[in-house]
Structure 1
Amino acid sequence: MSAEARITFLKLNKTYRIGDIVEGSVVVKTASLLKHDGIQLFLEGFVLIQKSTALLEEKVPELGKQTELISKSVTLSKGGKLIAGTYEFDFKAKLERGEVPLQETNHGACISIQYFVRVEIRRSLLHQNIETIEEIFLEVPSPLDGRKQLDMSYFLTESDVDSPKLENSPKFSITGELSIGGICEIGKPIIGTLLVESSDKSIYSVMIELQRKEEWSQIGSFHSSKIVSLQICDGNVPKNAALPIKLIFPRFRVAPSLSIPNLSVRYSFVISVMFENKDIVTKEYPIHIVRR
């Protein structure tokens, strides 16, 4: 193609909050005379229930359809001609809510919330329109209601694990602290300790996981997916030694906990203990993630 368009932003990280101005330029480069019927910029946001493997068995017609959160357009140029060369068109568009509240960018396994800046150079029926698109990221502060991030003590034994009971289940006692009481703030890691007080079988490894649980009312059940996992120890874990825990929320893969009509996104922190005979026991702790 003899012509192309590119979108650049004043904010290099392309991350905004409600009320911010999305500002930048559209650079059009053409190697020959370019006739067009107008250059239009669109600011769009959608909620998409994706046709993931988790939902392939569900026969719901709404799967794959988008729910519009925001839709704005800006005319950068009316129809005309561009001779060979490079042209720059500045733009500004405000991120503000309409009838539907804006939600934070969320790249989930089933539920996706995304915002885009799209440019379209319209051409005659005999020529293909020129389009380019860039994703931008929206951060939405959470209502905190006075809640704070607090340390929480935990006590884990063979009698209170979430995994199914095993034959000849090992007898063990694990204690520690985690900063998951109250709320968990994006931008602050989950920190804590894990201490093996006793175990009648050697512990081979300990894993921690951050899991996402997505629920959509049309399905009536939730889908759980792993976001990140870390092995905090390997080999014969020593007893009465406080092992440090630190888990950083990966950017763009974690958004604040969400509960709105028809859908919700929740999170949990999971501790998995593997013994020398490969038996695994797990304990799950629900957490509430917020953004300040």
Structure 2
Amino acid sequence: MAGLLDLRLKKANKIYSEGEVLAGVIVIQTKTEFQHQGITLVAEGSVNLQLSSKSVGHFEAFYNSIKPIPLLSVTLNAAKPGKIPAGKTEIPFEVPLKAKLNKTLYETYHGVFVNVQYTLKAQAKRSLLAKDLVKTIEFIIEYKDQKVKAEPKPVPFTVTPQSLQNVKDKTALPNFIIKGRLDSASCCIKNPLTGHVIIESCNAPIKSVEIQLVRVETCGCAEGYARDATEIQNIQIGEGNVCRGLTIPMYMVFPRLFTCPTLATSNFKVEFEINLVVVLLDDHLITENFPIILTRF
């Protein structure tokens, strides 16, 4: 066995911004010296788009035309061909994080149909019979500055049987009045989403009150667009047949990597929504939807 190759970044949290330098060391540990054909470093970033299975039938041609969108590609030679001595060897490196022409380094985001990911790969090339030493790590990009800033936009709401949509027979619904407020529909991703809800009246027993964070991902090109909403997280804020007239606080922290500032480009969109869900004892749902805008600052 030739040895172990590892990548260590100077920043422990691995968070960088466009224009910064990705600095660190390549660490090679080996019991015996070995020869290599050169050590290379490759920093890459791309947006990977995928269509949900329900969209594939509609857009067969479109399905083939969704290629990854490259954002970053930097290759450096960390060491010329030579020998690595026995023991521990550290090779320092610095990689400039500069986007490709006419591109922006979007924030790291791990979604279902849209993925924005940045990786750093080190490779020590060996002779034909020996196996190359390879190590890949992910680093995270966050905006340093953003034009759109979060501004308080309170959203008061009242939910009654008459205000509900997508209901065929409103006479079958129980009578209820649910009031409350989202403190802002424009949220800074670093701060929690807050608000409150009050079940003023409901003549059917309640099983649970929940808030749901939903990602809405749109992938598209000239042939058409596919829009899919999927749940990121669900938080229960009331258990059982909650007291009427009681103010129930809402508090939700936005999960890292699974959320990012709201993003709209010509090829894809990443948007977010909040659902307030009241689950009745018979498992019927009363749902109110709130589109929200996420910003970094």
TM-score by length of 1: 0.93
Equivalent residue for 1:98, pick from 90, 97, 100: 100
Show the counterpart of 1:47. Answer: 47
Q: Does the aligned pair in 2 maintain the 1:106–1:253 contact within 8 Å? A: yes
Secondary structure (helix, strand or coil) at the match of 2:196 reads: strand
Show the counterpart of 1:186. Answer: 189
Superposition pairs of residues 93-172 of structure 1, within 5 angstroms: 93-99=95-101, 100-140=103-143, 141-144=145-148, 148-165=151-168, 168-172=172-176
- Structure 1 pair 291/147, CA: closer, same or farther in 2 (3 Å)? closer
Show the counterpart of 2:271. Answer: 266
Give the aligned CA root-mean-square deviation in angstroms.
1.8
CA shift at 1:187, angstroms?
A: 0.8
Q: Does the aligned pair in 1 maintain the 2:55–2:226 contact within 8 Å? A: no
Equivalent residue for 1:237, pick from 229, 237, 242: 242
Q: Distance in 2 between the 1:285 and 1:54 partners? A: 25
> Which AA in structure 2 matches 1:287?
I
- Structure 1 pair 165/96, CA: closer, same or farther in 2 (3 Å)? same
Q: Does the aligned pair in 1 maintain the 2:261–2:294 contact within 8 Å? A: yes
Q: Does the aligned pair in 1 maintain the 2:51–2:226 contact within 8 Å? A: no
Q: Does the aligned pair in 2 maintain the 1:215–1:221 contact within 8 Å? A: yes
CA shift at 1:161, angstroms?
A: 2.8
Show the counterpart of 1:211. Answer: 214
Q: Distance in 1 between the 2:9 and 2:165 partners? A: 47
Deviation per CA, 1:160-217, whole angstroms, max 9, x where unpaired?
2345345611121111111233x11111111111001111212221111000010011
> What is the count of residue pairs matched by the alignment?
289
Show the counterpart of 2:72. Answer: 70
Equivalent residue for 1:282, pick from 277, 287, 291: 287
CA shift at 1:32, angstroms?
A: 2.2
Q: Distance in 1 between the 2:241 and 2:228 partners? A: 34
Superposition pairs of residues 13-28 of structure 1, within 5 angstroms: 13-28=13-28
Show the counterpart of 2:32. Answer: 32
Q: Does the aligned pair in 1 maintain the 2:123–2:133 contact within 8 Å? A: yes
Show the counterpart of 2:85. Answer: 83
Q: Distance in 1 between the 2:70 and 2:124 partners? A: 23
Deviation per CA, 1:107-135, whole angstroms, max 9, x where unpaired?
01011000111101112223222110000
Q: Which runs of 5+ in 2 are unaligned?
A: none
Higher strand share: 1
